[in-house]
Structures are given as C-alpha cells and as structure tokens.
Amino acid sequence: MSRIGKKPVTIPEGVTAELLDAHTLQVKGAKGMLTEHFHPNMQISIENGEILVARSSDEKQDRSLHGLTR
C-alpha cells in the first residue's frame, strides 16, 4: 500500500478547496487559483480541512497512480 498516498493533504489557512465534480479539484489562495483533473480511478474527497486521495482498486496501475496523485 502506498505510504505517501495514504497521507492527507492539509489545507492551509487562507486557502479554499472544493470539488467541482468527482475528479476535478479547484484550490484558491492568495497567489491564485489552480484547477486539477484527476484520473478516474482516483477518489478525491475533502474532509475536516484535508484533501484525501483513495484508489478504487488494488490493480498495479491504480497503486502506481495513488502515490503520484497525492
């Protein structure tokens, strides 16, 4: 299991993050805005001020993408 992929990404103070759809994340802060589209096999969620990345299966490709996505 990916050790990096399991770690949540903390959203700093002054930054907002929202999911536009199931695989598109938009982050806004003082220095601008970033919209990122993720692979359909990655599940992105926002909980308690953290961005979480999970994979849909344990296939080799999904395991490889999990750490890269985070």
Distance from C-alpha of 51 to C-alpha of 70, rounded to nearest angstrom: 9
User: What's the domain range around 50?
Assistant: 3-69
Q: How many helices (H) and strands (E) does the chain have?
A: 2, 6
**Quick one: pLDDT at residue 21?**
94
Number of domains in the chain: 1
Residue type, 8: P
Higher-confidence position of 63 and 33: 33
Q: For residue 61, give Cα distances in angstroms to 4, 18, 21, 34.
A: 16, 26, 22, 26
**Quick one: pLDDT at residue 4?**
78
Distance from C-alpha of 22 to C-alpha of 37, rounded to nearest angstrom: 9
12: CATH: 3.90.930.12
**Quick one: pLDDT at residue 2?**
54
Where do the H-state alpha helices sit in the chain? 3-6, 60-69
pLDDT digits (tens, 9 = 90+) for 18-54: 999 999 999 999 999 999 999 999 999 999 999 999 9
